[in-house]
Amino acid sequence: MRQCELSGDVERLRRHWPTVTAAVAHIERLRAAACALPPDHPSYGLLPEGFGDGGIGGTRAEYTNVLWTLIGLRYAAEGARLVGAADDQARFADLYDGLRADFERSARAHRRPLPDGSGDHLPMLLPGSGT
């Protein structure tokens, strides 16, 4: 999508559209797996545990993959608009909205004050997922 934006080559995006829809279908499966977790699991409603640090620390319940997935879904929905795939655009936007709502719910619960009291921060690792 970003390359299409920069080059203005919507045809290239159309040629790669099956890859985009397959990627979003994979995200849908990941979301379904996370929504099937017990409600007290740290990843419940978000995405399954993943490699937030490239795999150095192993898989954990974390927000990094959730945030990058939200960015990708937003771009995928915009790409769907550009290629005229209205059904995909609506589906991708719904997936984005659901993940965003679950992220915001989780983030509200896990926000922590900064040590100096100047505000809050959101730890990337979810409670119960290790150090």
Confidence of residue 53 (pLDDT cuts 50, 70, 90): confident
Sign of CA dihedral 53, 54, 58, 64: positive
Confidence of residue 130 (pLDDT cuts 50, 70, 90): low
What integer pLDDT is reported at residue 13 of this predicted model? 96
What integer pLDDT is reported at residue 72 of this predicted model? 97
What integer pLDDT is reported at residue 1 of this predicted model? 87
Rounded to an integer, the average pLDDT of 18-23 is 98
Query: Highest-confidence range of 2-11, 57-66, 89-98, by mean pLDDT?
Result: 89-98
What integer pLDDT is reported at residue 63 of this predicted model? 95
pTM of the model: 0.92
* Mean pLDDT across the chain: 93
Of 27, 44, 38, nearest in space to 94 by CA: 27
Question: Contact, 3 vs 12, CB < 8 A?
Answer: yes
Confidence of residue 127 (pLDDT cuts 50, 70, 90): confident
Confidence of residue 21 (pLDDT cuts 50, 70, 90): very high
Does residue 97 carry a pLDDT above 90?
yes
Sign of CA dihedral 63, 38, 128, 54: negative
Does residue 88 carry a pLDDT above 80?
yes
